Structure 1
Amino acid sequence: MDVEKDALEASHTWDLVKRQPDMSVIGCKWVYTLKMLPEGTVEREKARLVAQGFRQEYGVDYEETFAPVAKMQTVRSLLAVAAMKEWRLLQLDVKNAFLHGDLKETIYMERPPGYTRGDDTMVCRLRRSLYGLKQAPRAWFEKFHATILHAGLVQSENDPSLFLRSTSRGITALLIYVDDMVVTGDDSVGIEELLLVLRSAFNLKELGDLSYFLGLEIHRSTAGIHVGQRKYIVDLLEEAQMDDCLPCNTPMEQNLKLRQLEGDLLSDGSLYRSIVGSLIYLTHTRPDISYPVQIVSQFMSAPRKPHWLAVQRILRYLRGTQEVGLLFPTGGASILEAYSDADYAGCQDTRRSTSGWCVKIGNSFISWRCKKQDRVSKSSTEAEYRSMSEVSSEIVWLRRLLAELGVTCQDPVRLYVDNTSAICIATNPVLHDRTKHIEVHVHYVRQLVAEGTVELTYITSEDQTSDLLTKAVSTSRHWFLAHKLMLRQLHQFEGGC
């Protein structure tokens, strides 16, 4: 607490002023946490003074609050490019990041509990943003944004959390997620210049080579970069009291169909919602559980016993695959490819179909999605066509993002589909009678094909990689597709142990 208070006073976070009768004064409290290392040991004890922002009034104490955070697709793309080009990855942290933001509004706060000796009529008039304030994230990002632009970097047009500088020496890239940063590139001089600017502007903590970022455990060797979430899985199993459960080979029973009103209601659905919410974050490195997690997440409002049994099955699968993670191999050609599939009318309650697609650069998978479509399709061809339209938008965005990172993709991008009728619809505008009921925006994929941006290629259902994102499959097929998605055990990764 003393260290935190000294940091607040050193940055001149507030001025002490006399309390007036017409002042709106918010409270504050101390929050205590333990900073943990990836292996589960305590790094340090931490105390933080947090303002009671819930007492702020919109239009009086704050207005805009939004601050961008990095997309996980951008994080994976940056790791994939760094692995391909063998760039060094540096990890940075800003101490008391929110204290760097300048407040535009006049906000009064009670003095910190435990440090109120003296005149009780005094209150704090905040000069800088403080954790807990509604506008704190935005104020910090505005300060960081101004500093980083002054250093010569340019904000990405495709992800506002990515900043880049391209010179004759090479590329410098910085990705920020609140106060955690990753710096990479092939311009060593430019990276050192950037670090000098950051050191002078902020209380910077340099953590060396990237190893633990947003709960992702990063291991590097000559083979590439392995990204997993072992500690996250261990903590999740402990929360569900399943840390000693028997593992199973697949995350979902084959041909299992869950319904909204089937089975008895759980007496308390809070644990269900907590576990499923955690599983959703785990899908950022585990596409092999995307489909079952998408299924169980549909019953968050009123979970029932069969739904909880399905969640337990996912946890049992994770129990035996704690060290499985994504592999981003070193080297390889910068070829962008995508796979698209759909499960026609798979939802038992709404009869809507499920879209599943994934995109890779070289041998590194950087984007995937499993989602129930927003309306009923009249045929399996229409369901496939909708999925193709979704992944086509992702392809266009990823091409632009990778171009900013210095990776030029081939033209056109191959999109592998296992439905010949859907390919015909996208390439043959004469089939009007079959497609007149499909909305115009779905024909976006047809436009990309005509422009030469996307090339549709038939692939057999047996080789369709995105099949794992649309249905539960047998054990042998599950691991065949998981291997194609570049999921590897850590002990299989060279130098990972």
Structure 2
Amino acid sequence: MVITGSDLASIQRLKQQLQSAFHMKDLGTLHYFLGLEVHSTFKGILLHQHKYATDLISMAGLESANPVDTPLEVNVKYHRDDGDLLPDPLLYLQLVGSLNYLTITRPDISFAVQQVSQFMHSPRHLHLAAVRRIIRYLKGTSHRGLFFPTGITPKLSAYSDADWAGCPDTRRSVTGWCMFLGSSLISWKSKKQARVSKSSTESEYRAMSAACSEIIWLRGLLAELGFPQTEPTSLYADNTSAIQIVANTVFHERTKHIEVDCHSIRDAYDDRLIALPHVSTQFQVADILTKAVPRPRHQFLVSKLMLVDQPHQFEGGCE
């Protein structure tokens, strides 16, 4: 159990109440919790899962394997019927399940894990090779984690993107979005859409609508925590047509087939809960959550997600 807050006296009273009702041991300052490692300095907090990742590498038997620079090969599509079935899928299921838990602090592998998670019911040798590549990527970046700097402005912003018809088997698109509080990444998603989109604009619109739902929830949470968002939250998208559909109150013929719940984003826009600034594709941070990208772009986007390799000032543990 983790207890946190800004009032030390209230925290102490809560701990005394819990100790009076339960057998409880106070472990002091948080530094390890359910595989999550926490390192604090005056510059901020780093969350990573180095030990968990190391154990995963051992489980896969890849201790001596060479690391790779990206979690997935670019322009490689994985089909559900490619190659021969694995005679025993147990290892595949264990590895993918562990990788899913690792995405708590590693958004840079979220898309890759989403891809291999689709084949849990009948994994094949090619799918296992993709899983092994993700783990080889982790081998070279096991100390990497999310950094939360001190003194940030608690202003919420978001990015949304979509890879149109990205699934080769169903031609459903992939949604990706990420939420920032100041410069700190606090929420993200990489998920295949529930419907086939008839155009790239429609797939981007669906992704924006999904991101909008998360924004509304986060705005409510931040208000409860004492950080109300007084201005519309910027939702950055790189598809001008999708932005225009939201901003234009006239229902065009080509938007009638989009479900009513997708059009709920219009209400949020009209109520000034969100703003829709355009961002160039080059600076679309959510791109890393929708597709495999080349090494230079992957490294650029990783830095934008505030993912850092554990610096020397964190190696001594909590201060």
Q: Tell me whether the two structures share a fold, i.e. TM-score over 0.5.
A: yes
Shift in Å at residue 284 of structure 1?
Answer: 1.0
Query: CA offsets, 1:198-223, max 9 Å, x none?
Result: 12111111011111112100000011
What does residue 228 of structure 2 align with? 408
Query: CA offsets, 1:67-122, max 9 Å, x none?
Result: xxxxxxxxxxxxxxxxxxxxxxxxxxxxxxxxxxxxxxxxxxxxxxxxxxxxxxxx
Q: d(CA) in 2 for partners of 1:256 and 1:363?
A: 32
Q: Does 1:465 align with 2:285?
A: yes
Is contact 1:357-1:368 (8 Å) kept?
A: yes
2:171 to 351, 357, 363: 351
Q: Does 1:253 align with 2:63?
A: no
Shift in Å at residue 444 of structure 1?
Answer: 1.0
Shift in Å at residue 189 of structure 1?
Answer: 2.0
Shift in Å at residue 406 of structure 1?
Answer: 2.0
Q: Which residues of structure 2 form unaligned runs of 5+?
A: none
Shift in Å at residue 408 of structure 1?
Answer: 2.3
What does residue 64 of structure 1 align with? none
Q: d(CA) in 2 for partners of 1:278 and 1:474?
A: 25
Q: Does 1:196 align with 2:24?
A: no
Q: Does 1:291 align with 2:291?
A: no
**CA RMSD, aligned part only?**
1.0
Q: Does 1:419 align with 2:258?
A: no
Q: How does 1:319-358 map to 2 (within 5 A)?
A: 319-358=139-178
Q: How does 1:49-448 map to 2 (within 5 A)?
A: 181-448=1-268
Greater strand percent: which structure?
1
Q: d(CA) in 2 for partners of 1:327 and 1:200?
A: 36
Query: CA offsets, 1:29-83, max 9 Å, x none?
Result: xxxxxxxxxxxxxxxxxxxxxxxxxxxxxxxxxxxxxxxxxxxxxxxxxxxxxxx
Q: Tell me the secondary structure at the aligned position of residue 259 of structure 1.
A: coil
Q: d(CA) in 1 for partners of 2:158 and 2:304?
A: 13
Q: d(CA) in 2 for partners of 1:251 and 1:354?
A: 17
Shift in Å at residue 188 of structure 1?
Answer: 2.1
Q: Tell me the secondary structure at the aligned position of residue 2 of structure 2.
A: strand
Q: d(CA) in 2 for partners of 1:364 and 1:214?
A: 22
Q: d(CA) in 1 for partners of 2:80 and 2:13?
A: 57
Q: d(CA) in 1 for partners of 2:5 and 2:120?
A: 42
Q: Tell me the secondary structure at the aligned position of residue 352 of structure 1.
A: coil
> Match for 2:303: what amino acid?
H
Shift in Å at residue 496 of structure 1?
Answer: 3.7
Greater helix percent: which structure?
2
Q: Tell me the secondary structure at the aligned position of residue 368 of structure 1.
A: strand
Is contact 1:221-1:496 (8 Å) kept?
A: no
Shift in Å at residue 187 of structure 1?
Answer: 1.7
What does residue 47 of structure 1 align with? none
Q: Which residues of structure 1 form unaligned runs of 5+?
A: 1-180
Q: d(CA) in 2 for partners of 1:442 and 1:370?
A: 18
Q: Which of the two has higher C-alpha Rg?
A: 1
- The structure 1 segments of at least 4 consecutive aligned residues displaced by more than 3 Å after TM superposition are 494-497
Shift in Å at residue 485 of structure 1?
Answer: 0.2
Question: Mean alpha-carbon deviation: is it higher for 467-476 or for 190-199?
Answer: 190-199
Q: Tell me the secondary structure at the aligned position of residue 56 of structure 2.
A: helix
Q: d(CA) in 2 for partners of 1:263 and 1:468?
A: 27
Q: Percent identity?
A: 54
Q: d(CA) in 1 for partners of 2:42 and 2:200?
A: 44
Shift in Å at residue 320 of structure 1?
Answer: 0.4
Q: Tell me the secondary structure at the aligned position of residue 185 of structure 1.
A: coil
Shift in Å at residue 350 of structure 1?
Answer: 0.3
Q: How does 1:18-57 map to 2 (within 5 A)?
A: none
Q: d(CA) in 2 for partners of 1:198 and 1:392?
A: 38
Q: Tell me the secondary structure at the aligned position of residue 458 of structure 1.
A: coil
> Match for 2:13: what amino acid?
E
Shift in Å at residue 409 of structure 1?
Answer: 2.3
Query: CA offsets, 1:219-251, max 9 Å, x none?
Result: 000110000001101111111111221101000
Q: d(CA) in 2 for partners of 1:397 and 1:487?
A: 24
Shift in Å at residue 184 of structure 1?
Answer: 1.9
Q: Does 1:474 align with 2:294?
A: yes
Is contact 1:334-1:408 (8 Å) kept?
A: no
Q: How many residues align?
A: 316
Q: d(CA) in 2 for partners of 1:263 and 1:457?
A: 44
Shift in Å at residue 396 of structure 1?
Answer: 1.0
